[in-house]
Chains A and B, each alone.
Chain A
C-alpha cells in the first residue's frame, strides 16, 4: 500500500474551514470545475473518467465512465441523481463527506452534469441526515450566490440547477430505482428493469445515479488526470477509497486508503482490537457482504481480490468482530435488519427474511434444532437470485458465509441449548 501524503476525499482532515465556500476556494476548490468548463468538451471528460478506471463507490463497483456513456442519446434532457441515502450497516463515509466537505460533492456534481450534459441534478439524502441536509442547503446557496449554479455557470453556455430532496427513513431507497420512485413522491418500491435509469430515470429522463463518494472523486481527477488516479490501487481497481471501519476496533472511523490496502492494514489503522482479544471475522463491505474469517485478513480490498476471497468490497463498510462475538447473534441481528427493511413487494424477500429471523432468534435463544441449519440454507437458496431487487440477495450473504465458516458455533447453540458466549438479543426469547 502506497502511503498518502494528504487526503483527497476527506480533505477537511487536513484543511480546516473547508466546509465553507471561502475555505474550499482557498484550498483550490472549484478549480476542477473551471478547468472542466474551459479545457474539456463534455465527451472528453467521459473519456477521462473511463481512462481513470474510476468505479462506483456505492456498492456495485460499476465503471463510472461506462455508466455515463449508456445514457440515451435521443436528444432528451438528462439528469444526474446523487445517491446520499447511505444506510448500509457499517458504512458512514458519505455522511462525513457531506457534513464536512460538501463543496467537493457539489463541484463533482457540476463536473458530472457538464460531462453528461445534464441541466438538472438531484441529491437524494436520507431523512436521518438532518445535519447533512442543512449543510448541503447552505453550501448550495453559497454556490448559487457565487455563480457556480444557475443560468450560465461562470459565464459559459452551461446552465445547471441542483435540487436537494430529503428521504424519510427507508433503507431500500438506496437501491437506485427505489430511490427514483421515492424522489418522485411515491412509496420506495424498486422498479422493474429494463428500462434502466440511463433510458428512463427520474421523471422519465435519461438519468445517471452515482454515489456521493464517486462524485467526490471527480474534482481531483479533473485537476490531476487519469494517470494520477491510476498510481493507486490495482490495474482493475485503481484509486482511493474511503473505508468505514467499525465494530471491535479501538479507533473506529473513516480511513482514506489506496485500493490495494489489506484488511489487516485497515484494522491496524483503526487501532486494532482490544488488548487480549483476537479478530474473529471481518465483513469487508457492509452487512450485505459475506464475512471473511481472521485467516483471510491479508486480502487486499480491491474489488477483484475480495471477490476471489469470497466476499465483496460493497460500500466499504468494514465491520470487525473480535473473539467475544457470538456469530449467531451477529447473523440474527443482520438478518432482522433486512426483514425490517424489506419493502414487501416480492415474496422471497418479504417472507424469507421473516422466516430466517425467526429461526435465528430461536437458535440464539438455545431453542433450535439441528434441522434449522438446513432450513436456513434452504430459505437462503430460495431468496438468492430470486428476489425482485438486490435487497433479497443482501440478506443472505452474511448468514450463509457465517454458517459455512462457523458451523460448529451454530451447532453448539443447539446441542448446548444456550449461547456459549452468553450473548443476549433484545426482543427475543433470551432477553
Chain B
C-alpha cells in the first residue's frame, strides 16, 4: 500500500494498522525500548522504507522522543529512510567476495542500471546497495535481492540479479 493510496488529499497519512503493530511489538518486548526495532521492521517490510510519518508514529505509539527514534534508525544500515525500489540489490564487498570479483560485479550493475551505488533507478524498479559481509562467503560473490541470497554471481552474470524471479518485499 503506498502513501498515495492511503492519503486523502495527497497528504502523507499514517497507516491505521501501525497502532496494532506497535501494540504487538510492545506486548512481545515490553522492556526498555526493545519494541522499537520490531515495529520498524514491520513497517519497512510493508512499505519498503521508513517514511517520516512512520518515525512519527513509532515515537507516538511507543512513547519515545522523535529524535530518539531518528537516532536509532540512522545507526542501522538496513533501515532505509529514502524511497526504495521494488528490488533492493545488496552486493557483498567483503574480502572473500572481493577475491571473487565483487567490485567488477558492482561496476557492471551500475552500468546496466544507470545508477551509482546507493541510488534507485528512476522507474523505481531497483535500488543498488553495497553490503557488509553477508556471511555467505561460500557463495562469493554473494548478493541479496530483497534480503534473499543469490550467489555465486560472477561479474559477467550480473543480469541474473535483474532477471531472476525473486520474492518481492511483500512476502519478505
Contacts and interface: CB of A to CB of B under 8 A. Distances in A.
Interface of A: 86-92, 94-95, 126-131, 163, 165-171, 182-188, 203, 244, 246-248, 252-254, 283, 287, 317, 319, 321, 325, 329-330, 333-334, 337, 340-341, 343, 424-427, 431
B29 A163 contact: yes
B33 interface: yes
Contact of A252 (B38, B102, B117, B138): B138
B137 A188 contact: no
Contact of A127 (B78, B98, B103, B107): B78
Contact of A166 (B38, B103, B131): B38
Contacts of B35: 185
Contacts of A330: 95, 98-99
A17 B51 CA distance: 41
Given A95-B136, A128-B135, 9 more contacts: A87-B132, A90-B95, A128-B78, A131-B148, A168-B41, A246-B138, A252-B138, A337-B132, A431-B103
Contacts of A185: 29, 32-37, 72
Interface of B: 28-29, 31-38, 40-41, 71-72, 75-79, 90, 93-96, 98-99, 102-103, 106-107, 117, 131-138, 140, 144, 147-149, 172
A89 B95 contact: yes
Q: Counting chain B CB atoms within 10 Å of each CB, which of A87, A89, A185, A330 scores highest?
A: A185
A127 B37 CA distance: 10
A106 B78 CA distance: 26
B32 A325 contact: no
Nearest to A334: B95
B99 A91 contact: no
Given A128-B147, A287-B94, A317 B137 contact: yes
A188 B76 contact: yes
Nearest to B110: A426
A95 B94 CA distance: 17
B77 A89 contact: no
Contact of B149 (A131, A283, A321): A131
A27 to B, nearest CB: 24
Q: 6 tightest A-B contacts by CB? A: A185-B33, A246-B137, A169-B78, A168-B76, A169-B77, A184-B32
Q: Counting chain A CB atoms within 10 Å of each CB, which of B75, B107, B136, B149 scores highest?
A: B75
A91 B136 CA distance: 8
Given A87-B133, A95-B136, A254-B138, A165 B34 contact: yes
A337 B137 contact: no
Given A87-B132, A185-B72, A246 B37 contact: no
29 contacts: A87-B132, A87-B135, A90-B94, A92-B136, A94-B135, A128-B78, A128-B90, A130-B148, A165-B37, A166-B37, A168-B78, A168-B79, A169-B78, A169-B132, A170-B76, A170-B77, A184-B34, A185-B33, A185-B34, A187-B71, A203-B32, A246-B140, A252-B137, A287-B133, A319-B99, A337-B94, A337-B133, A426-B93, A426-B107
A279 B16 CA distance: 59
B136 A333 contact: no
Contacts of A91: 133, 135, 137
Contacts of B134: 128
B51 to A, nearest CB: 17
Contacts of A203: 31-32
A334 B99 CA distance: 11
Nearest to B149: A131
Contacts of A247: 95-96, 99, 137, 140
Given A167-B76, A182-B37, A319-B95, A426 B103 contact: yes
A333 B37 contact: no
A166 B41 contact: yes
Contacts of A329: 98
A246 B96 contact: yes
Contacts of B72: 185-187
B95 A424 contact: no
A272 B96 CA distance: 15
A95 B137 CA distance: 11
Given A171-B132, A182-B37, A184-B34, A89 B144 contact: no
Contacts of B132: 87, 169, 171, 337, 340-341
Contacts of B103: 424-426, 431
Contacts of B78: 127-128, 168-169
A130 B172 contact: yes
Contacts of A187: 71-72, 75
A33 B33 CA distance: 33
Nearest to B72: A187
A92 to B, nearest CB: 4
